[in-house]
Amino acid sequence: MLKEVGASGQISLGKKFAGQLYDAVFHQDGRVELLPMKVVPAAPQVQENVATYAVKAPGRTPADAASTAENQQWVADHAAEIAQYNAWTSTREPYALRVRRWRQSQTDKPTTTAT
């Protein structure tokens, strides 16, 4: 069977050979030989024990409750700033759209070249 090497340096053997492994042998006279190979996983040298982890049941500690109370207090103290930021962000469009519009405006501009 005659195969031509493409511009990318690859050849196609067909779907019949898809997924198979080959050892490429490059001979001094320019021949390339593909030898089908099978991969055999190496036996593990060390037997590892599977780690077991104790899972702590989720529960609320006094520290969790204090942290939640602090967070709620911070939100209450900064409600005006949060509302102002949310209003500001609702008027903004996503960054990706701004970049896309800017790129489009750059391609619409005629290029001037000095001669």
Angle at 83 between CA 78 and CA 89, to 5 degrees: 125
Residue-wise pLDDT for 12-48, tens only, equals 888 888 888 888 899 999 888 888 888 777 766 666 7
Q: Percentage of residues in the chain with pLDDT exceeding 70?
A: 77
Domain borders along the chain are: 76-108
pTM of this structure = 0.33
Separation of alpha carbons 5 and 2, rounded Å = 10
pLDDT the model gives residue 112: 65
Residue-wise pLDDT for 46-67, tens only, equals 667 777 776 666 666 666 767 7
CA dihedral 103, 104, 109, 115 (to 10 degrees): 50
| Contact (CB, 8 A) for 13 and 3 | yes
Number of residues written out for the chain: 115
